[in-house]
Chains A and B, each alone.
Chain A
Amino acid sequence: MLKIKTPKTQRAKREFEKRAPKLVENGRKTLILHGTKTSDVLNTVLTQIYHLKRDNAVKYTKKNENIRPFESGGETSLEFFSLKTDCSLFVFGSHSKKRPNNLVLGRMFDHHIYDLVEVGVDNFRPMESFEYDKKLTPRIGSKPFFAFVGDGFESVEELKHLKEVLLDLFRGEVVENLNLAGIDHVFVCTALSSSTVFFTHCALQLKKSGTAIPRMELVEVGPSMDLVVRRHRLPNDSLKKEAMKTTTGQPKKKIKNVSSDVLQGKIGKIYIPDQKVGGIALSNDVKGLKRERREAKKTKAVGENEAKKRKTASK
């Protein structure tokens, strides 16, 4: 026996529409959580990542003991949370002797795990340890620049994967229009070796240069850390194919009042509302009135002249 459940309020309905699969998707939301044991460093890392992504991230504070992303049964909790919070990216922190300061960065497809990258955090420097002019602080929500330095990002599998995941994590919304005055910050990732990436966050200072294009200066601002890639799991081929499907073949939205004709080509229809001829206010500056005034003046002048003539004649 099945029952049809529809939302009873408009607000609930709008929430469902927001979370529905669409042609052009919303930005990915991130879920930040940790396991039973975390270290000091890891806690700071998680909170700082949350601060970097304030608008579109959810941070859980409780310990989760049954989440093990790399094991087959240990991801059900993650998938459940992802479903409830509509987050398709997650950052899971844990600390153990074997894997100290461990971060698992993962992505979801349809609220099931798509791929995972496990990194260890070394040499972490929090945002507070950097000194800089406070006016340069990047704003939350501004679109970041990305700079990937090193050939490791092209040659090594794991680093390629990490590059993709980092891009997805910090990218923010995909926008068409960018305000050039709002360029704030950049993420610089350098592949130091085949397994280590030096990740740092810098603010951008636009300085005057001779041309219209300003000169960029980087000022280290945000957290900086060394990411050591430990494990990673790529998606299986069918899932990858499913997720990479694009929408170029779909029909575009119909534009109203435009039609195409064989003879005339593209035709548009313009609808003009009726003019209320009687209701239009007349301006004072109307030529007809002017003429009347002119003629009135003329007759007056003629009358005066005649009067003068009479006078002179009488004289």
Chain B
Amino acid sequence: MAEVKLHGFWSSPFSQRVIWALKIKGIDYEYIEEDLSNKSELLLKYNPVYKKIPVLVHGGNPIAESLIILEYIEETWPEHPLLPTDPYEKAMARFWIQFIVDKGSIFHAFFRSTGRVDQEKAAKDFFEVLKIIEEQALGDKKFFGGDTINLVDISYGLLAYWFKNAEEVIGIKMLEPSALPRLSQWVQNFLEVPVIKETIPDRDKLLAYMRRIREKIVAEQLNN
């Protein structure tokens, strides 16, 4: 089999998605940790347009953008399928994956907002998004993919760890069993999946990292 390499960054949820897909499918790969303050020549060569991680390199061929990488992995290694085969069900899965991408800016606003009024508004906006996800995307299913996780769960995975940490850093909690019981249960179920449990970055390390980012954001805004 041609060599598979992944250029990633330990804290990046986009990088994490690709790791999950590769591990679920049992694909051997070499992981290369990039220093984002000093990007490698290889990364700049493989992703000249965006210069970002993750980049998957298969047999020397680079693929950029996490969702495009996920679809590539799904099509190249069809064992342990992570998308429905029915075109309509597949379109619905892609719809929900796109939904969390589209709402990324609201999450950004939540993490970057200073001042209690702005923070609470951003939190309220994002709570509405979470409600839609719980009611319409997840419903009564155990996972977005049904009985087992699929690409939709993998795409939403950042809610289970990255977002939960952001809530702690900002000090506003939304994804709570009292407010979002089914989505909170999904978080627990998701984190129990062996592949996920084994690969999630260390919580304390990530929390400290996110606190540092948050401090920089606050400092920047105070200086402006």
Q: Do A and B come from one complex?
A: no
B contact residues vs A (CB 8 Å cutoff): none
A contact residues vs B (CB 8 Å cutoff): none
